[in-house]
Amino acid sequence: MVKSKLDMDEQTTEATLPEKPSTSSFKQVFVGFAVGICFGPMLGVLGGVCGAPVGVFVAQILGIGSSSYVGFRATALAGSLVGALLGIPTGLCVGIIVRIYSTIVRESPLDSNNAAFSGVVIAYVCGAFILLVWNPPYEMWTMMGIHSLIVGWGTGYIAALAKPQWASQ
């Protein structure tokens, strides 16, 4: 039987249609979301505690900060609170992007050290975007640098290592 040109076009169209995304990809995004929402604020507290006093100290040394001196304990407390809030968007961005890249785009597990470095780069971009929109004092740039380093490294590392049983089914 001879196939008409219309039958051939239908056959090639059916072959080139993209497949529906598997539920596995949605599960991987959920794993990245869960890692980011859990570990972003926790690591953000650590980043804020470490970064805020360093930011105040550097600003006082360089003379670019505010004229009033804030105690380091109060700065660490405020930094931990701000760090937890800034850890939420940073952790979400890093967790989801690293998880999508390592499981869906690359289709092979990403080395945890490379994932940690990628997380730091993503966190720096996210932190710079937050600071450009927020327009805070100069001390926050130093604090956000240390915060992005800690949150990006930790969240990226954990997102690459997370292997829940239900995500592979």
Q: Note the pLDDT of residue 47.
A: 83
- Counted domains in the chain: 1
In a domain, 19, yes or no: no
* 4 alpha carbon, distance to own chain's centre: 53
Q: Is residue 3 part of a domain?
A: no
Q: Is the pTM of this model over 0.85?
A: no
Query: How much is the pLDDT for 24?
Result: 74
Q: Which of the 8 DSSP states describes residue 167?
A: G
* Residue pair 64/136 in contact by the 8 Å Cβ criterion: no
Residue 169 lies in a domain: no
Between residues 6 and 113, the one the model is more confident about: 113
Any domain includes 42? yes
pLDDT, tens digit, 9 for 90 and up, residues 116-160 = 999 999 999 998 898 888 877 777 787 888 889 999 999 989 888
What's residue 119's pLDDT? Answer: 92
Helix spans in the chain (H): 5-16, 23-62, 72-100, 112-134, 139-161
Band of the pLDDT at 61, cuts 50, 70, 90?
confident
The answer to whether residue 15 is domain-embedded is no
* 96: containing domain: 24-163
